[in-house]
Amino acid sequence: MFPAASLLTTLLLALSIVATPVEVRSPHVTLPFAKRINTSGGAINLVEHDQLRATALKDRAAAIQSGKVDRRTASIAVTNEAVSYVAAVSVGSPATTYSLIVDTGSSNTWVGAETAYTATSTSHNTGQPVAVSYGSGSFSGEEWTDTVNLGSGLTITAQSIGVASTSTGFQGVDGILGIGPEDLTEGTLTNEQTTLIPTVTQNLYTQGIIAQTVVGVFFAPTTTETSTNGELTFGGVDTTKYTGTLTYVPLTTTYPASYYWGINESITYGTTTILASTAGIVDTGTTLILLASNAYTKYQTATGATLDRTTGLLRLTSTQYSALQNLNFNIGSVTYALTPNGQIWPRTLNTYIGGTSGYIYSIVNNLGSPSGEGLDFINGQSFLERFYSVFDTTNNRIGFATTGYTTATTN
């Protein structure tokens, strides 16, 4: 995730924070955001979307490591963004407001997928071509710098943004607010392949707006197509959004998860281990919880669920659901238990994914590759809707805590 030159500092910091229940206490400001289900192309295929994204994340890490960033704009399959968390972000003066996907798995911020970019007195065209590919689409255009407003007290000057001249896979939204590691911007400027672009979080810090490069993320489960049920907190944490102790673990050093917000964890279903301790990532851009194929098979066997060919999801009978046990994520010294209700798709939204009303679908699915590859799970939105998360660049760590929704039965 971080350049080799900073690894010593990173590791020294990490050694002091393993599973330490220490809160970040600093001035902070918040940005609300909303869950949005994109049905512009009809029923959405969650599995296809998430597996394509997982492949793209692995490929990008490999390209950065090899020094041969290959955006593969023309060669990857493209699906629309399926289930996204979207924030209203203003750019320019006078400002235009854009609906941007909040993404911890990428770091470029860009606009123009639908609402056109409008240059104002604060806009500056750097003349640099920029392009990024995602599992769910791509964009290409030019880099500009402009004033970006994320909410009250969150105004950044001269923020680098991509202005799309072409984009695919982003119907219903205007672009992305990238809050991933800065390394992921490497190679996105076509003519300056080794140049890194400061992210919005970094610029908030360097411009003195926040005290630490920390982002707290809160989601609440929702049973409607659109719902303002989330909040980003820049510069610290919102103690009103979680319960119990906020506990941190260091970022993983295992490749390729180390290029993202990666951690080490093991997973048990009830008392049965289905995934031994390994590296994976926490990702707001993935809807489901994806497990290495061998762990997914163990989960399916343990639950008795059958594959639903229409949705690609596992389907549970009412009897199987009643017998479902907790899915336990063992992270550091803490176990985060995903309850049976947390393991299923909201039944009121079944038709949006091509499912049948009244059926019970699991949100645990197949990563598409076996364990041992260095990115063996993705804790996506379905996990984050049950646990508060903190992405702490200052101390190279991620924190988790339970919330009032951890044991909710809304699904």
283 tagged catalytic: yes
DSSP secondary structure of 169-223: S-TTS-EEEE-S-GGGGTT-BTT-TT-----HHHHHHHTTSSSSSEEEEEE----
Give me the catalytic one of 50, 103, 376, 392. Answer: 103
Strands 110-111 and 155-168: parallel
Neighbours of 277 (CB within 10 A): 12
The single residue of 50, 146, 174, 283 carrying the catalytic annotation is: 283
Cβ burial 328-337 (10 Å sphere, 16+ → b, else e): bbbbbebebb
Contacts of 305 (CB under 8 A, 6+ apart): 314, 315, 316, 320, 362
DSSP character string of 356-394: -TT-EEBSEEE-SS-SSSS--EEE-HHHHTTEEEEEETT
Residues composing the chain: 411
Is residue 174 annotated as part of the catalytic site, yes or no? no
Q: Which residues are catalytic?
A: 103, 283
